[in-house]
Amino acid sequence: MKSGLKDFNRKMRGFDTGTIMGLESKTSAPIQVIREADGSCAGFKNLFVIGEGSGYAGGIISSAADGVKVAMNIIENS
């Protein structure tokens, strides 16, 4: 991922810093990501796994709600 982002930044300047938002899967996770109180993935600084892939949601509405909940927590703690 790191080398891919460096390559992409050479093509489109400004993508070497900031927030990565991202991928969508077609299925719910068979496991649940362990989260810290702030919503971040346990053991990783600034990694927020949300929605169906995190195991905290089971559909498009609950995935959106999970994303909003984590985003609001990030904003409140910034």
14: which 2 tokens?
A: 């400004």
Summarize pLDDT for 5-46 with one digit per residue, the tens. Answer: 778 788 877 766 666 666 666 666 677 889 998 889 999 888
Is a pLDDT exceeding 70 seen at residue 54? yes
CA angle 57, 63, 69 (to 5 degrees): 100
Q: What is the pLDDT of residue 23?
A: 63
| Distance, CA of 60 to CA of 51 (rounded, Å) | 8
